[in-house]
Chains A and B, each alone.
Chain A
Amino acid sequence: MDTTPYVVLSAILFTIGTVGVLTRRNAIVVFMCVELMLNACNLALVAFARQHGNLDGQIAAFFVMVVAAAEVVVGLAIIMTIFRTRRSASVDDASLLKY
């Protein structure tokens, strides 16, 4: 089976995620874009696992899912606290630290 289309798709998803992180203003949306990047990685890992005929990539995808879940816990906690203090989840508003 040719896995190239899957790798290309994962690259497209990864790029969408990256552009989203760089352009979106809402911390939650930025965070969702990061998750999209991680899932693009999963797709690439699984496609390469198929191509090489071993299981390393598939196992890695499971680990990535667990790590992504842990990241959600920590990330949402941080975004929640800052939203409760500032009444805004915009990444532009948090600008006390500069220069």
Chain B
Amino acid sequence: MDSTTFVKPTLDYFHLWPILVVLGVAALGVVVEAFVPRARRFATQTVLALAGLVAALVGTVLVGLDLTEVGDGAARGLLTAGGTLVIDGPAVFLWGLVLIFAVGGVLLFAERRLEGGVSAFAGQAAALPGTEAERQAQGLDHTEVYPLMMFAVAGMMIFPTAGDLLTMFVALEVLSLPLYLLCGLARRRRLLSQEAAMKYFLLGAFSSGFFLYGVALVYGFAGSMDLAAIDQAVRADTGNHTLLAIGMGLLAVGLLFKVGAVPFQSWTPDVYQGAPTAVTAFMAAGTKIAAFGAILRLFYVGFGSDRWTWQPMLWVVAILTMVVGAVLAISQSDVKRMLAYSSIAHTGFLLTGVLGVQTSAELADGQVTSLQAILFYLTTYGFSMVAAFAIVTLVRDSGGEATAFDRWAGLGRRSPWVAGAFAFLLLSMAGIPLTGGFVGKWAVFTVAFSAGAWPVVLVAIFSSVVAIYFYVRHIRLMFFTAPTADSAAVVAPSLLTSATIAVGVLATVLLGIVPGPVLDLAGHAGEFIR
């Protein structure tokens, strides 16, 4: 094709509806900030965000039902916007997940009872901590968090849908930039929050620089940003293979940073601890889902035929991530940091799944594909993480959330229900049978094993055992340690947080007892369009 002719891209509005409505609501939220009086902003923004997410969720279901088969029938979906967006089964599944956890995020953002009538976000982020200006802003709410979050959600939806590297890069930034800001907006412990925002921002910008240089080198190799064209160039092997290998590595740095894989994990505990807990809950689930979608699409669709170049690298990263995550979690003394290291370990387990067999054509009947296993794992992971961080927001003292371990001593005797729910979520993260986490782990381990990655699976099993130790230690702390004078208490939340926790726990139970429907749904999502 002559490169000077411009072909107008066609936009498939029906299939793009979920993304467009989220972006539209985000933009509308900015307008609301400017024109709606302060007293009414909170209600307006919350209702607007929830309505937008529900509309997008309905749209996602409709799009999911509407996808038509392409090629040999393994994949369903379509390319739109000139091939820059690939709306296929896995992408729509990930949209659904992101939107569900975004609804949970909005509910946690809108919780006002815990802080006594105001939200967990700073009244005025620009006011210096400890000054008169900050005291005057005490009763205010930062309602900008809702549009920021909606922009992040839109980025998270585009990220796994991106059909070319440029769209992927833009989506990466659209999801990251609002999150950097959200991390710095905590009402209490503002220094920690600001520090978390700065660390996240500087390291995130650094890693997206690597991602972008990877984009440039892969473009230099293939002469196109399009993943399908890159795949063809890799198969033909006409270009400079060194460029491809370095580019692939740099792209991997950017993506592995986002999921918090070792050796790019150092931001995770700091940011998870410093950020407002509602943001942590949303970020822990959403970012990981979006970034794993992008990793899978990039490595399976773009570099799938060159897997011997990237698989050894992912072997090493997966092993390191699981071991470092599980071992360092043992030495933590803060609940949020422990959950952060646990999420690093989960990244390792998910990477184990990425090493699995790639297409359903290579599998016997009834075996799960690696895509199916990872989608299921992300579902269980998201529900348990959101609910666990939501519970962390409830355990408080006069200074706000009490996250140090010794403050949690004897929590089970005072508030058996909350502590019981938290213990159950920890058991699911540890992968005890009859919880969602067990089925997820079993699925990713089997796909990796059937692909011959048995050393990684052995390490995974070993680090699961190590992980059980610190989860059970925390459960013992809550139930079998006598409460001390300065133990924190559980504050009764409003319906918003209670609903989030209830849904998260219920989903974890159901996914453990009857995993069939969700596994089938993930299998029904099929393959990526290549």
Contacts across chains A and B counted by CB atoms under 8 Å = 134
Quote the shortest CB–CB distance from A74 to chain B (angstroms). 5
CA A95 to CA B170, docked complex, whole Å? 31
Q: Is the CB of A71 within 8 A of B173?
A: yes
For window 29-86 of chain A, which residues contact chain B by CB distance below 8 Å?
A: 30-31, 34, 37-38, 40-41, 44-45, 47-48, 51-57, 59-60, 63-64, 67, 70-71, 74-75, 77-79, 81-82, 84-86
CA A98 to CA B223, docked complex, whole Å? 44
Q: Is the CB of B173 within 8 A of A21?
A: no
User: Does any Cβ of A come within 8 Å of B227's Cβ?
Assistant: no
User: Does any Cβ of A come within 8 Å of B196's Cβ?
Assistant: yes
User: Does any Cβ of B come within 8 Å of A1's Cβ?
Assistant: no
CA A5 to CA B4, docked complex, whole Å? 26
Q: Is the CB of B198 within 8 A of A82?
A: yes
Task: Give the chain B neighbours of A52 by CB distance below 8 A.
Answer: 219-220, 223-224
The digit string for B172-202, where 1 denotes a CB below 8 A from any CB of A, is 0100010011001000001110111111011
> Which listed residue, B201, B206, B273, touches A78 by the CB 8 Å rule?
B201
CA A51 to CA B224, docked complex, whole Å? 12
CA A94 to CA B274, docked complex, whole Å? 12
**Contact residues on A (Cβ < 8 Å of other chain), bracket:** 35 or more
Q: Is the CB of A44 within 8 A of B217?
A: yes
> Which listed residue, A31, A51, A64, A97, touches B270 by the CB 8 Å rule?
A97
Task: Give the chain B neighbours of A47 by CB distance below 8 A.
Answer: 220
Which of the listed residues A10, A34, A55 has the most CB atoms from chain B within 10 Å of its own CB? A34
The digit string for A5-20, where 1 denotes a CB below 8 A from any CB of B, is 0010010001001100
> Which listed residue, B181, B195, B223, B269, touches A82 by the CB 8 Å rule?
B195
List the interface of chain B (C-beta within 8 A of A). Answer: 3-4, 125-126, 128-129, 166, 169-170, 173, 177, 180-181, 184, 190-192, 194-199, 201-202, 205-206, 209-210, 212-213, 215-217, 219-220, 223-225, 269-270, 273-274, 331-332
25 contacts across the A-B interface (CB closer than 8 A):
A21-B206, A27-B198, A31-B202, A41-B209, A45-B216, A47-B220, A48-B216, A52-B219, A54-B223, A56-B166, A56-B219, A56-B223, A56-B225, A59-B166, A60-B169, A60-B215, A71-B205, A78-B198, A78-B201, A81-B197, A85-B129, A85-B191, A94-B194, A96-B191, A97-B274
List the interface of chain A (C-beta within 8 A of B). Answer: 7, 10, 14, 17-18, 21, 27, 30-31, 34, 37-38, 40-41, 44-45, 47-48, 51-57, 59-60, 63-64, 67, 70-71, 74-75, 77-79, 81-82, 84-86, 91, 94-99
